Structure 1
């Protein structure tokens, strides 16, 4: 090559204008050549492009997430509610002990007839148990039955219970509560703790003395505001005067567990409900392994005392604390299955909505796909972009649904007066479920976009 040729070549190169700002300005998306970007760089571009596409159609994107929002919010709120009710019930049963048997009059639903919502100290919030069948009003258990049951082998303690509702008055303060006539052994049967004073004595029971032990709720309503010591004070129940000998510590569990006043059983039998019957009998067994045997023995005993023929329906029912817990867990399982079904339908509808919108988006953006592929984008880049869009739509709906579900769960548990329980599972589950729905229902549109022929796509220009 001659010197003049080299000079012309050099001059020619020098004469070429350098790319100015205007050239860079119109360069929207550089070609993706092999080796230019690593995997993380490509993924970042896919996220960026997906975000721009969703923002450009933000109203449609927001409406698409509605089904996911409803499904996730339903799941989260119901999980919070069921966990709160379960914790409430479990705490109540645990506080009673695992070796307790409740004998109640009447036949039918054991949970309803066990006195679990009406007797002193063994109660669950009426709002929670209001869906259970109402207890029968059959009068069949007598104080004599209670005395006979106490002699059953492996029974370590027994207390008959008479329960009435009434107004308790102290000075200018009053409170409507449950007044339960019980034996002195109930303190140990139900694991009550004395906060002030003492439980009434055997002499109080035998002498039918007018003494009372206040539950923590009743104490708070009558004496806490004034700050005075309730021990030795006189309160009025109906037209009768009673002396306060003790105050119970908070037992927790159900909201009405501490809303009770205990009086000696003999006094209640004579002056509060003088009909010769008891509302229930609570028995404590020496060991939980003997529960079934003791139940069989008590059943045979009461059938004999009540002259019930073999094969005839009993006029009483027995329920152990374990049976109460098992029965309630079955109810919770049915409720859980129901809400999972409803939530699954909602999530499926939401997922189908996402898939439909993504298919429409693929059709609308055929030109964009063709340009990207002609500039060097690989099929997996196109697939990942649309998959990211689908998962992002689902996650947005899931996060908003989780926040709304937690708020709704808090309101429901507050209204039902049960604990508001949040577990790591309830916080993690919406993200997992939402991402799963996005992947499942976004995969087909993403694969469909990746399989487009770039030549055919460019023909749409």
Structure 2
């Protein structure tokens, strides 16, 4: 019963000084709201990065041409011409634990339909590219092995290209011109949206890799080979086997002289996730500073409250209130302030996160963990900063307190 009475007395004391109580809670409200909003932004960035990397395919290895040494200086990735289509075939035939192998080339072109034109990237790909990149066809069909074998001038276009060249009309069966050559559209891809780097993944034209290399781009080498490993625990083993195979095919004895690079997307995702997690913690930590400031505000107001209620404390002690009774009374008051502030802060923080997502152009992810963490942290702050004023009140001499004017 004493605890319930203490809570009621605390609420009455706060209500009797409404403006002061609101200003005291404001620091906690801002702190909790800021922590939730900042952490939701950080987690939104992390999710966007993860989704972007995942859109490239799961358990992925990307073999890139280039990085040869010229006069002892390593060149940029993609600058070499030593990666061949036969290398892709060899990887597919000789390396185990692989689901898909998809070589590709790419180059920017202006694509024309009648009096409409659009600058985009044309990719030369194989049928496996659809599975490895998790692509789906909205209408029509995808590039087949027969298209690759016969070097057919056919194309599958992204939603952005379709919209800019054909508007709302279904382009399947119609022709576009790439480098003044006609290509028949056999399919339109579903929307994939933007990548984490802001690149429009729907702004693309896909054609058979043999058509691209021999009839459009006049290439004898490929730029990248996308490899999807059957399981995550086999990635490192498959990567080592691919590197060994390519060194044998390219007659490279010293790994430092590799004219290719094998990038592990799983490692890249782990690095990016670790980086974005640190950013999230940094944002949350900065926002949490305002919680500490709010705690100092609680201590300040409780000190004022002790001074104002000195005679009340003296009367309580004269009537038999113990040290623990007085201590509990003032601790409960400080905790009530932090609990109410924390609850209001949760509402404001969640509303702010949703508003940022709606109007600010940021992706936000609201989860239970930062909400609970910030709330209990605010309660702990109220408890910690309420101890000193409560002890001061409990230690007052009842005779001196009764004399206080």
**Fold match, TM over 0.5?**
yes
- The answer to whether the 8 Å contact 1:178/1:259 transfers is yes
Structure 1 pair 297–179 and aligned structure 2 pair: CA distance change class (3 A) = same
5+ residue gaps, structure 2: 68-75
Residue 50 in structure 1 maps to residue 14 in structure 2: yes
- The answer to whether the 8 Å contact 2:113/2:165 transfers is yes
Residue 363 in structure 1 maps to residue 363 in structure 2: no
Alpha-carbon deviation of 1:208?
2.9
- The answer to whether the 8 Å contact 2:50/2:269 transfers is yes
Q: Determine helix, strand or coil for the equivalent of 1:179.
A: strand
Q: Determine helix, strand or coil for the equivalent of 1:151.
A: helix
Residue 191 in structure 1 maps to residue 134 in structure 2: yes
TM normalised by structure 1 equals: 0.72
Q: Determine helix, strand or coil for the equivalent of 1:452.
A: coil
Alpha-carbon deviation of 1:249?
3.0
| 2:143 equivalent in structure 1 | 200
Given candidates 237, 245, 249, the residue that maps to 1:301 is 245
Q: Determine helix, strand or coil for the equivalent of 1:263.
A: strand
After TM superposition, the structure 1 stretch with the greater mean CA deviation from structure 2, 267-276 or 198-207, is 267-276
Alpha-carbon deviation of 1:446?
2.0
The total of aligned residue pairs comes to 392
User: Which deviations, in whole Å up to 9, do the C-alpha atoms of 1:349-401 show, x marking residues without a partner?
Assistant: 43234323423442344234334545666655543443344234434554554
Structure 1 pair 381–420 and aligned structure 2 pair: CA distance change class (3 A) = same
After TM superposition, the structure 1 stretch with the greater mean CA deviation from structure 2, 373-382 or 185-194, is 373-382
Residue 319 in structure 1 maps to residue 255 in structure 2: no
- The answer to whether the 8 Å contact 1:92/1:252 transfers is no
- The answer to whether the 8 Å contact 1:215/1:249 transfers is yes
- The answer to whether the 8 Å contact 2:66/2:82 transfers is no
Structure 1 pair 452–281 and aligned structure 2 pair: CA distance change class (3 A) = same
Q: Separation in 2 of the partners of 1:282 and 1:334?
A: 30
Q: Separation in 2 of the partners of 1:241 and 1:150?
A: 32
Alpha-carbon deviation of 1:48?
1.4
Given candidates 57, 80, 83, the residue that maps to 1:139 is 80
Q: Separation in 2 of the partners of 1:313 and 1:345?
A: 51
Q: Determine helix, strand or coil for the equivalent of 2:94.
A: coil
| 2:278 equivalent in structure 1 | 334
Q: Determine helix, strand or coil for the equivalent of 2:256.
A: coil
Q: How does 1:116-127 map to 2 (within 5 A)?
A: none
- The answer to whether the 8 Å contact 2:32/2:288 transfers is no
- The answer to whether the 8 Å contact 1:77/1:405 transfers is yes
- The answer to whether the 8 Å contact 1:141/1:280 transfers is no
Structure 1 pair 56–72 and aligned structure 2 pair: CA distance change class (3 A) = closer
Alpha-carbon deviation of 1:418?
6.3
Alpha-carbon deviation of 1:432?
2.3
Which protein shows a greater Rg?
A: 1
Q: How does 1:108-257 map to 2 (within 5 A)?
A: 136=77, 138-144=79-85, 145-154=87-96, 155-170=98-113, 176-223=119-166, 226=168, 228-237=169-178, 239-251=180-192, 254=195, 256-257=200-201
Q: Separation in 1 of the partners of 2:401 and 2:181?
A: 93
Q: Determine helix, strand or coil for the equivalent of 1:299.
A: helix
| 1:72 equivalent in structure 2 | 32
For the aligned residue pairs, the C-alpha RMSD in angstroms reads 3.5
Q: Determine helix, strand or coil for the equivalent of 1:57.
A: helix
Structure 1 pair 314–384 and aligned structure 2 pair: CA distance change class (3 A) = farther
Q: Separation in 1 of the partners of 2:367 and 2:227?
A: 36
Structure 1 pair 69–236 and aligned structure 2 pair: CA distance change class (3 A) = farther
Structure 1 pair 40–69 and aligned structure 2 pair: CA distance change class (3 A) = closer
